[in-house]
Structure 1
Amino acid sequence: MTDTTERNAERARVRVSGLEKSFGDNKVLRGIDFEAREGTSTVLLGPSGSGKTTVLRSLNVLETPDRGVIGIDDVEVDFAALPPGKAGRRASGLLRAQSGMVFQAHNLFPHRTVLENVIEGPVVAQKRPREEAVADARTLLDQVRLGDRGDAYPFQLSGGQQQRVGIARALALKPRVVLFDEPTSALDPELVGEVLAVIKDLAADGWTTVIVTHEIRFAEQVADQVLFLDGGVIVEKGPSARVIGDPREERTRRFLKRVLDPG
């Protein structure tokens, strides 16, 4: 392997530095720093209100940080120096375009078929040819194990199937990073496994993912690195085997014990 190839393999696809965010007097993020290399899976764990979802939404600029730097590939925004008006919106939009978000709720268009839901973004937002978008969508539906449901409507699908359509819809935009915001929290327990299996497949296929989840055992299996957040800061980060299997911080140990052994 050449030196250049080695450097590219180690290049951080996601870079976050000094991220801060307040809602009124509530300071939700207090200086978040982390990197995620290309083709890796980063999982954010923590109690409710710890700031993990705000970190995820900041990566997609669904929340605008007060300050801090976010970089995805070659696109980087310093939010403390974000220009006002159209220039700032353009910079934020360019960063947003680097990632695809999968939400807790499915948010599918109920009056459109599965296939139409998946091609909406590529055709309308990205102005790609419909034929190309349809071909890509059929490949993605196969990937999320719904290749035979392209003509179905959302009401004809289970919650787990709808969430898998949501994953295909995010992938159809060809993002550099896929963001998952507690993708199984709205599902009945028996449907959780089918969605987690698809996310594991994406990680195994080399997609760069950042995932907020309460599914500790899933995080242990899929994550290359785990960030444990509490009170708007990263309390502990490292490989999943260490952070989950042998945490160094007492706060991390207490959280995992409460979640894994609630009795």
Structure 2
Amino acid sequence: MSRTDPSDAPLLAATQLHKRFGANEVLRGIDLTLHRGEVVVLIGPSGSGKTTVLRSLNGLETPDAGTIAVDGGPEIDFAGRVSSQQRFALRDRSAMVFQHHNLFPHFTVLENVIEGPWRVQGRPKGEAIDAARLLLDRVGLADKENARPHQLSGGQQQRVGIVRALALRPDLLLFDEPTSALDPELVGEVLLVIKELADEGWSMVVVTHELSFAREAADRVLFMDGGVVVEQGPPAQLFGAPQHERTQKFLTRILRPLDGT
């Protein structure tokens, strides 16, 4: 599928990102572009650097080298000193949904959702509440606004996490394996919400092991291994005719159980 015009300037452009944790070089020259309305899915084995890419795009991690530019703005060059303002600029343009929902346990659902828009972004509280209620209604949680996180199922908690990200009105949504901590029967309800957001034209980078979701929702799929992008392309191409031996081996291991062969 294609929801974008590749001739348009990218919403996000990351070039040659490098990141080392001690002796472990996690990212070894990652290039990633994203056009407005595009869904890019990152797949690959655990430890391949996918989460570190997301955290770098959101300003939660500082690469050792490389550049990131958002929506044609000035490049942040990580080879030099990166200011807190530059990190905030990245975080202000994107919102991240984590593996674990990271909700405040002592807040109600509504309080969790309005915290960012009201306290951080400075929007009027009444406006933040009205917007939060609309978002909760769209994911089927309008009746849970006064519940605490421990009173919700895992799938409901993750849907609140998605609503909390949407409430920030970001240009870019980042999902870090949003279903990996859920029981299998709850995975579908969360993936359905993300798929609906993709269909509405939200710009997304998604890290997931749910390859059926990647097949259906992605415009492009990037296969990562060893801190590099080994191969990328439209889902039909990457899953149907992968070119690189490492991609072929990975998909053979993962898809065979899915296909029941």
Segments of 4+ moved more than 4 angstroms: 6-9
- SS of the equivalent of 2:194 reads helix
- SS of the equivalent of 1:50 reads coil
Give the equivalent residue in structure 2 for 1:128: 123
Matched, 1:68 2:63: no
The one-letter code matched in structure 1 to 2:63 is P
Give the equivalent residue in structure 2 for 1:77: 76
Give the equivalent residue in structure 1 for 2:252: 257
Return the alpha-carbon distance in structure 1 between the equivalents of residues 102 and 5 of structure 2: 39
Q: For the Cα contact (< 8 Å) 1:98–1:177, is it kept in 2? A: yes
1:9 Cα offset (Å): 7.2
Stretch deviating more after TM superposition (153-162 or 69-78) = 69-78
Give the equivalent residue in structure 2 for 1:21: 19
Return the alpha-carbon distance in structure 1 between the equivalents of residues 48 and 176 of structure 2: 14
The one-letter code matched in structure 2 to 1:137 is A
1:90 Cα offset (Å): 1.0
Matches within 5 A, 1:1-263: 10-75=8-73, 76-83=75-82, 88-262=83-257
Return the alpha-carbon distance in structure 1 between the equivalents of residues 123 and 148 of structure 2: 23
1:74 Cα offset (Å): 3.7
Structure 2 gaps of 5+ residues are: none
Q: For the Cα contact (< 8 Å) 1:72–1:176, is it kept in 2? A: no
Q: Deviations over 1:112-137 (max 9, x none)?
A: 11111100011111111001101111
Q: Deviations over 1:148-168 (max 9, x none)?
A: 211222111100000000000
Return the alpha-carbon distance in structure 2 between the equivalents of residues 143 and 19 of structure 1: 36
Stretch deviating more after TM superposition (232-241 or 135-144) = 135-144
- SS of the equivalent of 2:45 reads coil
Return the alpha-carbon distance in structure 2 between the equivalents of residues 165 and 110 of structure 1: 12
- SS of the equivalent of 1:29 reads strand
Stretch deviating more after TM superposition (192-201 or 141-150) = 141-150
Return the alpha-carbon distance in structure 1 between the equivalents of residues 186 and 106 of structure 2: 24
Q: For the Cα contact (< 8 Å) 2:28–2:227, is it kept in 1? A: yes
Return the alpha-carbon distance in structure 1 between the equivalents of residues 220 and 12 of structure 2: 13
Aligned-pair identity in percent equals 60
Taking only aligned residues, the RMSD between alpha carbons, in angstroms, comes to 1.6
1:181 Cα offset (Å): 0.3
Give the equivalent residue in structure 2 for 1:3: none
The one-letter code matched in structure 2 to 1:203 is A
Structure 1 gaps of 5+ residues are: 1-5
Q: For the Cα contact (< 8 Å) 2:9–2:72, is it kept in 1? A: no
Return the alpha-carbon distance in structure 1 between the equivalents of residues 47 and 106 of structure 2: 35
1:109 Cα offset (Å): 1.2
- SS of the equivalent of 1:80 reads coil
The one-letter code matched in structure 2 to 1:166 is G
Return the alpha-carbon distance in structure 1 between the equivalents of residues 22 and 212 of structure 2: 35
Change (3 A) 1:107 1:158: same
Return the alpha-carbon distance in structure 2 between the equivalents of residues 190 and 161 of structure 1: 12
Q: TM-score, normalised by structure 2?
A: 0.93
Q: For the Cα contact (< 8 Å) 2:10–2:72, is it kept in 1? A: no
Return the alpha-carbon distance in structure 2 between the equivalents of residues 164 and 82 of structure 1: 37
